[in-house]
Structure 1
Amino acid sequence: MKKIFVCIALASAAAGVCAKDWTTIRFGVDATYAPFESKAANGDVVGLDIDLGNEICHRLNAKCVWVESDFDGLIPALNARKFDAVLSSMTITPQRAEQIAFSDMIYKTPTRLVTRQGANLQPSPESLKGKAVGVEQGTIQETYAKKNWAPKGVQVVAYQNQDQAYADLIAGRLDATLQDEVQADVGFLKTSRGTGFQFSGQEIPTGEAAIGLRKDDADLKGKIDGAIAAMVRDGTFLKIEKKYISVDLRTN
């Protein structure tokens, strides 16, 4: 009993003094971003990130719990302790790193523009001036478009989730959407919804994705980093990745 009281007293003074119980890890996820994360017909969340998270939990002898959230609410919810980590194709940025910690890289996240076939648009402010481009709220694509395109006459329209952006693109209310290249390829262009649409222009390098963590959970970061390294080393990471995509996002 004395040890418990000492631990409680020290916890408020120095984060990480007492080891936390990570037998359950709650991952926050925006389930509108196939093939990384989406909803199956039975309501389960599925995808590359889900399989990676479940494998991490398996290696840490922990139970995985998936908590759904809109993407722009993931960091506030993480810091409010509604879950323990974010595994949702979240790219590392200086702005995000001010608010949370990140695991080691899980994969790279290039960005592409999607337009209707024959639109003759390019991912540049000159080409897109006067056009409406859809982005998902809170993403690096929203930040990029608002910084580089909006001041030069491009209408950047932010949506609560990626599916809403695609719906308006299909309906003709948008001229283009800007999002993760793999997500657009597998989650839209290679589906029936993507008929008549295409990538336009070259990819935009936009960084590396990792698992988001609270800054005071260094012990959990250490465990997750160790699991990621082991998965890469023994080939499990690549095996999971190949279920969903044909390229290795860690090297391409």
Structure 2
Amino acid sequence: MQTYKKFLLAAAASLVFSASAMAAETLKMGIEAAYPPFNNKDASGNVVGFDKDIGDALCAKMKVECSVVTSDWDGIIPALNAKKFDFLISSLSITEERKQAVDFTEPYYSNKLQFIAPKATEDFKTDKAYLSGKTIGAQRATLAGTWLEDRNMEDDYNVKVTLYDTQENAYLDLLSGRVDAILADKYVQYEWLKSKDGAAFEFKGDPVVESDKIGIAVRKGDDELRNKLNAALKEIVADGTYKKINDKYFPFSIY
């Protein structure tokens, strides 16, 4: 009888340990942390922004602890596939090319691509006659950069295309006059245009891409995590959590 009691106590302890282990599961989310207001670092060096807040809300719904791992943009997908983090939530456009390397959740927001240039620039156009001889900037390995490259802007339009490692560096060159315009995500530029630095600039022309779907990336074949993230996304949309985060950053819905 004493041996049986010991067996029951051991079994109970094992169950408690297993439950604690599940509760203590930690997932790592990859974020660039250089793309405000979606992801950035505050004065204390903490990662903040829309992507981080959405990631935290999803982790809460999945009942897991999450930590942030930052990565340079150029290597962010290879870092995911090298298992430096478990999922990538860093304003990544869902494209056919990227689908060859990673799997995506359902979109967690929609974006547009649009040019910005100095307010003093009149009659801005995206046709060959206007753009010829100008310098256009974009962040490297983004949908904006790809859009410029796919149109062979340098040869067919006589446009100098300058690609940057971060969006912030593109803004610096726009401020200094080294580029005539920037093509980037509208909602990222919306934030910058409200800043002191961006006050002399504005959106130009219509968006060149109207529906840029942004998803969370997981490693190929990680259907379990992808399905959990999709379920959690539905929950935060349904219970109003998503709207609270959205309204913290934008006076309009980006879902």
AA in 2 matched with 1:190: K
> Following TM superposition, by how much is the alpha carbon of 1:68 offset from its aligned partner in structure 2, in angstroms?
1.3
8 A Cα contact 2:23 2:63, kept in partner = no
Give the equivalent residue in structure 2 for 1:69.
71
> Following TM superposition, by how much is the alpha carbon of 1:203 offset from its aligned partner in structure 2, in angstroms?
1.4
Please, which of 221, 245, 251 is the counterpart of residue 250 of structure 2? 245
Give the equivalent residue in structure 2 for 1:126.
129
- What is the TM-score with the length of structure 1 in the denominator? 0.87
Give the greater-gyration-radius structure (CA): 2
User: Does structure 1 residue 219 correspond to structure 2 residue 224?
Assistant: yes
> Following TM superposition, by how much is the alpha carbon of 1:21 offset from its aligned partner in structure 2, in angstroms?
9.8
How far, CA to CA, are the matches of 2:207 and 2:68 in structure 1? 31
How far, CA to CA, are the matches of 1:174 and 1:107 in structure 2? 29
- What is the TM-score with the length of structure 2 in the denominator? 0.86
Please, which of 147, 150, 159 is the counterpart of residue 150 of structure 2? 147
> Following TM superposition, by how much is the alpha carbon of 1:72 offset from its aligned partner in structure 2, in angstroms?
2.0
> Following TM superposition, by how much is the alpha carbon of 1:70 offset from its aligned partner in structure 2, in angstroms?
1.9
Question: What CA deviation, in whole Å up to 9, does each residue of 1:171-198 have, x standing for no partner?
Answer: 1111011111010011x10001102111
Q: Secondary structure at the residue paired with 1:177?
A: strand
Q: Secondary structure at the residue paired with 2:100?
A: helix
Give the equivalent residue in structure 2 for 1:198.
202
How far, CA to CA, are the matches of 2:199 and 2:90 in structure 1? 26
Give the equivalent residue in structure 1 for 2:175.
170
**Counterparts in 2 of 1:110-121, with a 5 A limit?**
110-120=112-122, 121=124
Give the equivalent residue in structure 2 for 1:109.
111
Question: What CA deviation, in whole Å up to 9, does each residue of 1:136-178 have, x standing for no partner?
Answer: 1110000001112333221111100000000011011110111
> Following TM superposition, by how much is the alpha carbon of 1:60 offset from its aligned partner in structure 2, in angstroms?
1.3
How far, CA to CA, are the matches of 2:135 and 2:216 in structure 1? 31
> Following TM superposition, by how much is the alpha carbon of 1:232 offset from its aligned partner in structure 2, in angstroms?
0.9
How far, CA to CA, are the matches of 1:136 and 1:64 in structure 2? 28
- TM-aligned CA distance change 1:96 to 1:125, over 3 Å: farther
8 A Cα contact 1:28 1:87, kept in partner = yes
Higher helix share: 2
How far, CA to CA, are the matches of 2:199 and 2:43 in structure 1? 22
Question: What CA deviation, in whole Å up to 9, does each residue of 1:30-67 have, x standing for no partner?
Answer: 11111111111111111111100001111112122111
> Following TM superposition, by how much is the alpha carbon of 1:239 offset from its aligned partner in structure 2, in angstroms?
1.3
AA in 2 matched with 1:192: K
Structure 1 runs, 4 residues or longer, greater than 6 Å off:
none
How far, CA to CA, are the matches of 1:119 and 1:46 in structure 2? 34
Question: RMSD across aligned C-alpha pairs, in angstroms?
Answer: 1.6
Give the equivalent residue in structure 2 for 1:138.
141
How far, CA to CA, are the matches of 1:191 and 1:183 in structure 2? 12
8 A Cα contact 1:30 1:68, kept in partner = yes
AA in 2 matched with 1:248: S
8 A Cα contact 2:110 2:212, kept in partner = yes
Give the equivalent residue in structure 2 for 1:235.
240
> Following TM superposition, by how much is the alpha carbon of 1:22 offset from its aligned partner in structure 2, in angstroms?
8.7
Question: What CA deviation, in whole Å up to 9, does each residue of 1:185-239 have, x standing for no partner?
Answer: 11x1000110211111111225200101101211100110000011111111111
- Which structure 2 segments of 5+ residues have no match? 1-21
Identity of aligned residues (%): 34
AA in 2 matched with 1:194: G
8 A Cα contact 2:131 2:157, kept in partner = no
